[in-house]
Amino acid sequence: MRYRYFAVHDGDYWRLLTPGHYIITAYRDGYQPLSHRVIVYERPHEEAQRVDFHLQPLPQLVSNSVQRTFRV
């Protein structure tokens, strides 16, 4: 199954998941998407697992156009 969830403006997001295997992907415009494989275990009375994503900016595209100066 695929679900889409959205974060607030600064990227903060949390979601509690039931035990199981997941592939979680984080996206943001201008950044390289990043996926993590996560196994959520049932561990009563323990802190929930945390998965952080550190996205890398996409490389800036270099224009192949040539700038020219004309004298009038």
DSSP notation for 11-59: --------SEEEEEEE--TTB--EEEEEEE---TTSPPP-----PPBPP
pTM to 2 decimals?
A: 0.65
With the C-alpha atoms ordered 44, 24, 27, 32, is the resulting torsion angle positive or negative?
Answer: positive
Q: Does residue 47 surpass a pLDDT of 70?
A: yes
pLDDT band of 63, cuts 50, 70, 90 = low
